C-alpha cells in the first residue's frame, strides 16, 4: 500500500512540476498585492486539487460516457506527458501556453490553477490511473493531496527558493524531472499499445 502511495506521489509531483512552475508563478504574483499573495496561492492550489480530484473520481464513468477505451486514453495521456517532458528537458519557454502579460488584476483559475497546476498532463495522468486501477482511488486521492501540498509549499516559498538555489540550478532540476517524466510517458504509451495489440480493453 505504501509503495503504491509513494509511486503515485512521485509521479504526480513530476507531472505537477512545482519547480518548473516557479518562474511563471513569480511573474504572475508580481501583479498581486503582497498581503494577498499567500491567499491567492492557497486558493488556486485548492481549485486545481478539486479539479484533479473530480477527474480522478469520475474517470471511469467519463470513459464510459465518451465511449473511450483505456488503451486509447493511455496512449493519448502518454503523448501529452511526452510533449510536456520534452519541453521540460529542452526549455520551458511558454510550455503551458500561457502569456506572462499583465492582466491588470489578481489571477483567478487561469493561469495558476489551470493550466499551471491542473494542466492537460495532470488531468490525463489521473484519468488513466483511475481507469487502470479503480481499486486504488483512495491511495491516488491521498497521493494527489500530498503532491498538491508539496506544490503549494514550494509556490509559497518561490521567491526564497529562487534566491537560495538560483535560476541555473532550478532549470537543472526541472530538466532532471523532465528526463524521468519522459520514461514514464514512454511506459504509458507502450502499455497502451500492448493492450491494443493484445486486444484487451
The span from the CA of 151 to the CA of 23, in Å, is 14
Show the low-confidence residues of the chain (pLDDT under 50).
Answer: 93-104
For residue 175, the model assigns a pLDDT of: 84
- Name residue, grid cell 460516457: 65
Do residues 195 and 70 make contact, with C-beta atoms less than 8 angstroms apart? yes
Write down the pTM of the prediction: 0.77
For residue 96, the model assigns a pLDDT of: 46
Alpha carbon distances (Å) from 170 to 26, 64, 149: 13, 41, 19
Residue-wise pLDDT tens digits, 42-77: 999 999 999 999 999 987 787 788 887 778 877 887
The span from the CA of 187 to the CA of 7, in Å, is 14
Q: Where along the chain do its domains lie? A: 2-198
Amino acid at each position: 500500500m505504501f509503495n503504491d502511495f509513494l509511486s503515485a506521489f512521485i509521479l504526480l509531483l513530476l507531472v505537477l512540476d512545482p519547480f518548473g512552475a516557479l518562474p511563471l508563478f513569480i511573474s504572475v504574483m508580481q501583479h498581486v498585492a503582497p498581503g494577498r499573495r499567500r491567499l491567492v496561492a492557497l486558493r488556486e492550489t485548492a481549485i486545481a486539487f478539486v479539479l484533479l480530484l473530480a477527474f480522478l473520481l469520475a474517470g471511469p464513468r467519463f470513459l464510459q460516457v465518451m465511449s473511450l477505451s483505456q488503451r486509447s486514453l493511455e496512449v493519448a495521456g502518454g503523448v501529452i506527458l511526452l510533449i510536456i517532458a520534452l519541453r521540460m528537458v529542452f526549455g520551458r519557454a511558454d510550455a503551458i501556453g500561457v502569456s506572462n502579460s499583465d492582466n491588470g488584476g489578481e489571477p483567478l483559475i487561469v493561469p495558476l490553477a489551470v493550466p499551471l497546476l491542473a494542466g492537460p498532463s495532470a488531468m490525463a495522468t489521473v484519468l488513466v490511473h483511475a481507469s487502470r486501477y479503480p481499486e486504488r482511488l483512495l491511495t491516488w486521492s491521498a497521493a494527489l493531496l500530498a503532491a498538491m501540498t508539496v506544490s503549494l509549499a514550494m509556490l509559497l516559498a518561490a521567491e526564497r527558493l529562487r534566491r537560495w538555489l538560483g535560476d541555473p540550478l532550478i532549470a537543472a532540476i526541472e530538466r532532471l524531472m523532465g528526463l524521468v517524466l519522459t520514461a514514464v510517458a514512454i511506459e504509458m504509451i507502450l502499455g497502451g499499445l500492448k493492450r491494443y495489440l493484445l486486444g484487451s480493453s
